[in-house]
Amino acid sequence: MRVLVTGGAGYIGSHICLELLEAGHDVTVVDNLANGKREALRRVEALAQRPLELFTADLNHKDDLSAAFSGPRIDAVIHCAGLKAVAESVADPLRYYANNVAGTVTLCEVMRQHGVSRLVFSSSCTVYGDAATVPITEELPPAPVNPYGRTKRMIEQLLTDLQASDPAWDLTLLRYFNPAGAHASGSIGEDPAGVPDNLFAFIAQVAVGRRPELRVFGNDYPTPDGTGVRDYIHVVDLASAHVSALEPAGGPAPRVYNLGTGRGYSVLEVVEAFERASGRKIPYVITERRPGDIARAYADPSRAHAELGWRARRDLHEMCRDAWRWQSQNPDGYPDS
């Protein structure tokens, strides 16, 4: 297949591109490079020893986007492009709705114009909001609690409406839990702009000396050590799920899958595992809980296993080891390019 990956120059997208190339697919990337790096794609090509095609274009610029569909026939789209910082989405919701929701509308319009009907969408466990029960199954009614999560849920709804309007669409929604780690080579990984929004990237920057300490938001949650528990999933496992999701499977579309390991780890367990993997001390301070944070969230990933034949294979140690390899080899992230 030739697969068009939106947001392919980003953290998860670059790992997906590599998995696709290694599985023998051809890859076209559309990315406006707002948060993605050209260098990430150069490294993907070097690892796969195969080229891919990059269109530097914004999803909301229909003509530019259309150009990416005008070359060799695109068989499927993996839609990772999006803004993802929760606090930023609270401060500037219009930007999030315009980029994420309107961008997806334009993408689907352009796909329809070009007769492309298969799409795999990067959704998030954020759509579940403050889930009352764990493990979280796909049946739990979504109830996102911030604008970012609502953009993800709105996109899921618009894709569900689209599927209902025309059975020719073939849509899959993947709800990621907490992506972590990097490719085992250490040559591609997460390179956040500004202050990292997620735990692994923050810890890695503390370990490498870019930040003095980790702030742990609350140690009075009803969890074994009082810190929040999340389901971390190795980014290469996550990427491989997309290759599986390209093959039609399971029940009627849109198909919805949780992507997680099914096991939760607390913040302090991750700190300890990272210290072991890196041989570095991770100083931390306990601060107030963050508004909106929940005690525990982990997936029931059994549907993805049953229908896609996929499951996460890499454990917490491998996530820490690979995140550290990436960060120690690239202390300042990708060079500017």
Beta carbon of residue 80, minimum distance to ligand NAD (angstroms, whole number): 4
CB of residue 231 to ligand NAD, shortest distance in Å: 11
- Note whether 100 and 124 are within 8 A (CB): no
- Cα distance between residue 24 and residue 218, in whole Å: 46
Catalytic site residue from 148, 221, 232, 265: 148
Instruction: Based on DSSP, count helices (H) and strands (E) in the chain, helices before strands.
Output: 12, 14
Cα separations in angstroms, 48 against 53, 285, 315, 323: 13, 41, 24, 20
CB of 40 to ligand NAD, least distance (A): 8
| Residue ranges in contact with ligand NAD by CB under 6 A | 6-7, 9-13, 30-36, 58-60, 80-84, 99, 103, 122, 124, 176, 178-179, 198
Give the nearer residue to ligand NAD in terms of CB position, either 285 or 318: 318
Q: What would the 3-class secondary structure string for the chain be?
A: CEEEEECCCCHHHHHHHHHHHHCCCEEEEEECCCCCCHHHHHHHHHHHCCCCEEEECCCCCHHHHHHHCCCCCCCEEEECCCCCCHHHHHHCHHHHHHHHHHHHHHHHHHHHHCCCCEEEEEEEHHHHCCCCCCCECCCCCCCCCCHHHHHHHHHHHHHHHHHHHCCCCEEEEEEECEEECCCCCCCCCCCCCCCCCCHHHHHHHHHCCCCCCEEEECCCCCCCCCCCEECEEEHHHHHHHHHHHCCCCCCCCCEEEEECCCCCEEHHHHHHHHHHHHCCCCCEEEECCCCCCCCEECECCHHHHHHHCCCCCCCHHHHHHHHHHHHHHCCCCCCCC
157 versus 168: smaller Cβ distance to ligand NAD = 157
Residue pair 286/218 in contact (Cβ under 8 Å)? The answer is yes
Is residue 298 part of the annotated active site? The answer reads no
To ligand NAD, the closest distance from the beta carbon of 16 in angstroms equals: 9
- Residue 36 or 264 having the CB closest to ligand NAD: 36
Please say which residue, 210 or 226, places its beta carbon nearer to ligand NAD.
Answer: 210
Give the CB-nearest residue to ligand NAD.
10
In the complex, least distance from residue 279 CB atom to ligand NAD, rounded to whole angstroms = 26
Considering the complex, what minimum distance in angstroms separates the CB of residue 281 from ligand NAD? 25
Between 124 and 205, name the residue whose CB sits nearer to ligand NAD: 124
Query: Which is closer to ligand NAD, CB of 63 or CB of 166?
Result: 63
**Is the bond leading into 283 cis (omega within 30 degrees of zero)?**
no
Comparing CB distances to ligand NAD, the nearer of 6 and 163 is 6
Q: Least distance (Å) from ligand NAD to the CB of residue 271? A: 18
Looking at the annotation, which residues are catalytic? 148
